[in-house]
Amino acid sequence: MMDFVSGEIILLVQKMKVLDIWLQEMLKMLMMKKQQKLQEMEVLVMVQKTPLLKRKLETLYPK
């Protein structure tokens, strides 16, 4: 799995209408902390907490 640009994930979440406040707050914190980059493990943790996002990312970024 590659590093994701946080903006791409936010767009995915918005397009899929995943109303997950925890996920949105985590993305904001990570964007400030990581200068627009998300680390692989942090992405995996967020993805696991959001099954719809997990399926979408697996479709876009097959292993």
For residue 38, report the phi and psi dihedrals to the nearest 5 degrees: -110, 135
Tens digit of each residue's pLDDT (9 = 90 or more) over 47-62: 677 777 767 767 766 6
Tens digit of each residue's pLDDT (9 = 90 or more) over 5-23: 667 776 776 666 555 666 6
Give the pLDDT score at 38. 58
CA angle 18, 19, 23 (to 5 degrees): 85
pTM above 0.75, yes or no: no
* Average pLDDT of the residues in 25-53: 67
Please state, in angstroms and rounded to a whole number, the distance separating the CA atoms of residues 21 and 18: 9
**pLDDT-based confidence at residue 1 (cuts at 50, 70, 90):** very low
